[in-house]
DNA sequence: GCAAGGTC
């Protein structure tokens, strides 16, 4: 971070003299005391009730010392951290430091949600108090996460390494309340894919060859009509309807509906959205995208890249930022047009973290390359697109009936591309229908009973996973990418490239862990999102003072203790395979066999080791790191 | 050697 800075100035509006300094994130960390720190120092189960120490990590020593010096000579501490839960707790951490060296110091809190002069002044002149309930919620979550993570991680590692140490090569088999549900999503989709059985269906295919309106080249346009029933899985019924249609195959145009239509411009950009769009369109991982955006932020090119907000403040100065983009050879002309009157206020989404605006470019950068160029271009085009008008088109929908069965076709004429001109990531193009009139009749060119098959769902992409985590409240804008990274690093999950798309496939270890926990048969498995969602809900209750932090902690700890006891028993059964119950053993064998079939193509030159317990037939993509020993 | 959450 370099040298600590302090900015001093007078603020006549409140007759005060300010010294402004900073922290970067949390300044305290939790850990167990010496008695519980060593892995062999205690039974992991005791970690649920073990004491926990709060201390300043070494990296913040300089910052803390600086704050102490300032606090000694001040009457008041005013907290300006982000106005969210974590920000409230960071404020509390700072307050603790100050009070320790100056017992009489007054603690105040500035409330603001945007770096806009007017709002900063208002916050400075209307100080409030720290919301200790929010800080409590964070403390409780930290305690819970540490105890849970440590207890389960140690139990898993010790159990597995005792027996399979040679296989694991000292690898960490961690458990975390976010990483496990994340893994659970990958395994769950993988199993859906594996269990998929294609089903045959039938449908009536109806088409008419008729020249298009402006088609002067003599080519016949074919209009395909969609059957209103979609498709049927019962062949007899489909055949009966088809035969009925064939009896009187003349089609009558029932309705021609013409209406204006729009393709809406994108919402202001959040972190999760950037990661989803980015991994889909830019061929980068969620973590790469966030790291890149962060590097650009630190050079003053992008705004803060970790935000849940998809609405701009009413006082946001769009003109200033659009103006900066007018110098671009690629989208400068578009930016200029926005400045000249084509600007339209961005749509407002539903999310607001009250801490940061949506991600937007804060400077023009014309000399970027590689990933930085890709991310910058996406953010900038998205910003300009959100500041322009929706695309406009004209849609025609035709409904026809053939002996009582209905079919329809629709065409689109794009009239104004508007935001699409600067946002090539969205596709919307004209496909026009030849002219039809209500009441007219025609003889279809093609009328066939066709057969199709349901398609296998695809494995999870990283974009899918980010969406699932976001929807289920697993992780935050700042941590979602880290959790995905963790399960890849721990080799619970492998990345598999198919064509241009990267899919996530669980390893045998990943599947084994999830199945192991599911095997316990609890409704709320550790591999599912419910428990984490409950933690989140409890935190909100603590914030709303419906519950105390001690109650939250106690309730959650009890719940996890039960799971722990069952899980440990299960693990021991698996490990002492002589004593393993038949049921557990069979389940694990099935898992291993099924997995083997699925990842076979990745490991074909690695022979199976039938003497190994099936649960531990670990296979990674990287054989150099994770290889079964040769025991010929 | 354990977590998740900040952020550099």
Q: Is the CB of A66 under 7 A from strand B?
A: no
**CATH code (residue A404):** 2.70.20.10
For residue A622, being part of any structural domain is answered with: no
Residue A214 is predicted with a pLDDT of 57
Q: Which two tokens stand for residue A197?
A: 């059985």
Residues A291 and A359 in one domain: yes
E-only strand ranges, A211-338:
221-227, 251-263
For residue A1, being part of any structural domain is answered with: no
Residue A490 three-state SS? coil
Q: How far apart are CA A361 and CA A382, in angstroms?
A: 10
- Within A446-548, residue ranges assigned H as helices are 462-471, 480-489, 508-519, 530-543
Q: Are A334 and A251 in contact, with CB atoms under 8 Å apart? A: no
Residue numbers in A 113-132, CB below 7 Å of strand B: none
Residues A368 and A395 in one domain: no
Bases of chain B with protein Cβ within 7 A: 1-8
Residues A248 and A330 in one domain: no
Residue A160 is predicted with a pLDDT of 82
Residues A151 and A295 in one domain: no
For residue A436, being part of any structural domain is answered with: no
Residues A352 and A421 in one domain: no
Q: Collect the ranges in chain A with pLDDT lower than 50.
A: 1-2, 216, 218, 578-632
**CA A317, C1' B8: Å apart?**
28
Residue A5 is predicted with a pLDDT of 84
Q: Is the CB of A145 under 7 A from strand B?
A: yes
Residues A229 and A291 in one domain: no
For residue A630, being part of any structural domain is answered with: no
Q: Is the CB of A177 under 7 A from strand B?
A: yes
Domain range for residue A33? Answer: 7-130
Helix H, strand E, coil C: the string for A137-193 is HHHHHHHHHHHHHHHHHHHHHHHHHHHHHHHHCCCCCCCCCCHHHHHHHHHHHHHHH
**CATH code (residue A31):** 3.40.50.140
**CA A437, C1' B6: Å apart?**
63
Q: Are A545 and A617 in contact, with CB atoms under 8 Å apart? A: no
Residue A114 three-state SS? coil
Residues A349 and A409 in one domain: no
Count of domains forming chain A: 4
Element (H, E) at A452: strand A446-453
Residue A495 three-state SS? strand
Residues A609 and A498 in one domain: yes
Beta A106-109 vs A76-79: how paired, if at all? parallel
Nearest CA to the C1' of B4 belongs to which residue? A145
Beta A221-227 vs A501-506: how paired, if at all? unpaired
Q: Is the CB of A183 under 7 A from strand B?
A: no
Angle at A432 between CA A429 and CA A437, to 5 degrees: 150
Whether A92 sits among the annotated catalytic residues: the reply is: no
Residues A608 and A483 in one domain: yes
Residue A212 is predicted with a pLDDT of 66
Indicate which residue of A190, A304, A419, A492 is catalytic. A304
For residue A256, being part of any structural domain is answered with: yes
**CATH code (residue A329):** 1.10.290.10
Q: How far apart are CA A98 and CA A486, in angstroms?
A: 36
Q: How far apart are CA A265 and CA A432, in angstroms?
A: 23
For residue A434, being part of any structural domain is answered with: no
For residue A612, being part of any structural domain is answered with: yes
Sheet with A501-506: strands ordered across: A460-461, A501-506, A493-498
Residues A324 and A373 in one domain: yes
Residue A585 three-state SS? helix
**CATH code (residue A551):** 1.10.460.10
For residue A621, being part of any structural domain is answered with: no
Residues A472 and A592 in one domain: yes
Residue numbers in A 8-47, CB below 7 Å of strand B: 24-27, 29-32, 37, 39-40
| Total number of residues shown for chain A | 632
Q: Which residues pair with A257 in a beta bridge?
A: A397
Residues A165 and A306 in one domain: no
Which of residues A130, A160, A179 is at a domain's end? A130
Residue A627 is predicted with a pLDDT of 28
E-only strand ranges, A211-355:
221-227, 251-263
**CA A599, C1' B7: Å apart?**
38
Residue numbers in A 255-294, CB below 7 Å of strand B: 294
């Amino acid at each position: 971070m370099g040298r600590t800075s302090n900015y001093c100035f007078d603020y006549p509006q409140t007759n005060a003299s300010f010294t402004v300094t900073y922290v970067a994130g949390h300044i305290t960390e939790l850990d167990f005391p010496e008695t519980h720190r060593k892995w062999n120092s205690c039974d992991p189960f005791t970690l649920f009730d073990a004491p926990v120490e709060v201390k300043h990590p070494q990296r913040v020593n300089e910052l803390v010392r600086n704050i102490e010096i300032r606090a000694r000579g001040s009457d008041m501490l005013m907290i300006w951290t982000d106005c969210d839960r974590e920000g409230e707790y960071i404020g509390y951490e700072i307050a603790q430091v100050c009070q320790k060296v100056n017992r009489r110091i007054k603690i105040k809190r500035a409330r603001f949600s945007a770096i806009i002069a007017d709002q900063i002044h208002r916050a400075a002149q209307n100080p409030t108090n720290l919301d200790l309930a929010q800080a409590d919620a964070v403390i409780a979550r930290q305690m819970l996460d540490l105890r849970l993570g440590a207890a389960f991680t140690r139990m898993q590692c010790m159990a597995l390494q005792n027996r399979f140490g040679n296989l694991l090569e000292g690898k960490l088999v961690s458990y975390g309340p976010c990483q496990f549900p994340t893994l659970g999503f990958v395994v769950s989709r993988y199993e859906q894919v594996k269990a998929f059985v294609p089903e045959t269906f039938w449908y009536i295919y109806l088409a008419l060859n008729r020249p298009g309106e402006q088609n002067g080249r003599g080519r016949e346009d074919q209009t395909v009509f969609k059957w209103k029933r979609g498709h049927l899985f019962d062949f007899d019924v489909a055949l009966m309807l088809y035969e009925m249609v064939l009896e009187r195959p003349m089609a009558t145009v029932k309705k021609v509906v013409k209406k204006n239509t729009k393709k809406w411009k994108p919402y202001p950009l959040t972190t999760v959205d950037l990661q989803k769009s980015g991994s889909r369109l830019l061929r980068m991982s969620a973590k790469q995208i966030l790291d890149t955006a962060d590097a650009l932020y630190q050079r003053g090119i992008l705004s803060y890249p970790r935000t849940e907000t998809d609405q701009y403040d009413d006082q946001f100065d769009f003109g200033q930022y659009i103006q900066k983009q007018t110098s671009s050879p690629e989208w400068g002309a578009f930016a200029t047009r926005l400045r000249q009157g084509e600007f339209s206020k961005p749509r407002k989404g539903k999310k607001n973290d009250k801490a940061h605006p949506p991600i937007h470019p804060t400077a023009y950068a014309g000399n970027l390359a590689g990933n930085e160029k890709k991310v910058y271009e996406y953010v900038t085009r998205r910003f300009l697109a959100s500041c322009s008008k929706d695309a406009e088109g004209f849609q025609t929908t035709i409904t026809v009936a053939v002996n009582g069965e209905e079919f329809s076709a629709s065409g689109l004429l794009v009239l104004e591309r508007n935001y699409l001109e600067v946002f090539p990531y969205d596709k919307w193009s004209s496909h026009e229908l030849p002219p039809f009139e209500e009441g007219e009749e025609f003889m279809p060119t093609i009328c066939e009973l066709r057969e199709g098959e349901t398609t296998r769902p695809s494995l999870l992409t990283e974009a899918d996973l980010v969406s699932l985590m976001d929807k289920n409240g697993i992780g935050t804008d700042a941590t979602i990418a880290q959790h995905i990274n963790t399960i890849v690093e721990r080799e619970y999950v492998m990345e598999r490239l198919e064509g241009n798309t990267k899919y996530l496939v669980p390893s045998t270890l990943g599947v084994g862990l999830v199945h192991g926990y599911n095997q316990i048969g609890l409704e709320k498995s550790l591999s599912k999102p419910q428990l984490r969602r409950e933690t989140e809900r409890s935190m909100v209750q603590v914030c709303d003072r419906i519950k105390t932090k001690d109650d939250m902690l106690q309730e959650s700890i009890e719940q996890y203790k039960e799971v722990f006891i069952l899980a440990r028993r299960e693990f021991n059964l698996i490990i002492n395979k002589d004593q393993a119950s038949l049921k557990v053993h069979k389940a694990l064998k099935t898992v291993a066999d099924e997995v083997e079939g699925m990842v076979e193509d990745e490991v074909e030159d690695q022979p199976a080791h039938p003497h190994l317990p099936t649960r531990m037939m670990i296979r990674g993509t990287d054989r150099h790191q994770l290889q079964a020993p040769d025991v010929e």
